[in-house]
Amino acid sequence: MKFSAVYLAAITLACTAVASPVKCDVKGLDQLAKKSGRYVGTATDKWILDGDAPYAEIAASKEFGQVTHENTVKWETIEPQPGVFNFGPADNLVEWALKNKKKIRGHTLVWHSQLAPWVTANNYTAEQLKPILKNHVQTVAKHFQGRIMHWDVVNEVFNEDGTYRKSIFYNLFGEDFIEWAFRWAHEADPKAKLYINDYNFEGVSPKTTAVTNLVRKLKAKGVPVHGIGAQAHLVVGGLSSSMQELWRTWSDDLEVEVAITELDIRMNLPETPEKLKQQAADYTAVTQACMNLKRCVGITLWQYTDKYSWVPDVFAGQGSPCPWSETLEKKPAYYAMQAALSAKK
């Protein structure tokens, strides 16, 4: 079902109006998503939850049915020294999630960024690094066995032109490390769904053609690749017209799950009513694109509030990317998602 611009404008205005008679908060986002077998989640970490009670209350509510570790499963944190694993911070969020009946996405097992410095500083040969990589993947996956719904097994392995990123892993192993990582993760946690995850996976491009071809090749070899994660760090007004086409290819042709794994939609500051309206329309489009697919399993916000968003620290002059404001007020984007998740199909 497609929403008209008039409908979207009407619900946004009604839900944000002072003393509005429209009951827009009856169901949380995840409650609505569950009706179609999907989820809505958020990235966070336990130290944020512990330090901000109002934030934690919303995170624990029925707005969200899933959480992703924002940083505490990345290599620099979880294996800061060779063979020395620091599971405490990640375990804290897992315990919180299970207590609050949230599913968990594991992010991430193999990534070129936020590596522990020793991984590159020790100048390992391929023969030396392969068992280190295997041990990392299997130790982390095994530690959380049975508690992780999805793993981002490999993250950001492509350049925009569709070539492989020249990471330490590619430089030493070529593309073989990708297959190894999926097989190792499956051995360690056979019930978890395993994903390849990246940004700019929201429209047809050389990069997305490359991942489509890779996943097709891996599946033909019997490699346990179960899904493709589209990070969806987007810009207001900049959505690709081929987003639905691409995701349908993955869902219907490749027959793998599709997940929107890190959704936020930033704007050039300051906010204006026009920018917020366009942002709401963009959140609608992403949500609808997921709802329209047989194998789109859910949407994770990369932090649900502007208060803790990574965007201003990385993109100068940009921000306000989340459905909740810095003061934890729901923005038009929230109500747009709510409407899209409520649509009868």
Catalytic positions, written as ranges: 156, 262
Burial class (CB in 10 A: 0-12, 13-18, 19+), 316: exposed
One-letter amino acid identity for 241? Answer: S
Triad 337, 338, 344: Cα angle to 5°: 105
319: Cα within 13 Å, side-chain hemisphere: 16
168 neighbors 112 (Cβ within 8 angstroms):
yes
Q: Helical H runs in the chain?
A: 5-16, 29-34, 46-51, 53-60, 75-78, 88-99, 117-121, 126-143, 168-173, 176-188, 206-220, 243-248, 273-291, 311-314, 332-342
Backbone φ and ψ of 278, nearest 5°? -65, -40
Give the integer Cα–Cα distance in Å for 46 and 91.
Answer: 9
Element (H, E) at 261: strand 257-268
Cross-strand bridge partners of residue 230: 198, 260
Structure tokens belonging to residue 219: 């599946």
Instruction: Please say whether the beta carbons of 177 and 185 come within 8 A.
Output: no
Long-range (24+ apart) CB contacts under 8 A made by 267-272 are 267/235, 267/236, 267/318, 267/319, 267/320, 267/321, 268/236, 268/317, 268/318, 269/317, 269/318, 269/319, 269/320, 271/320
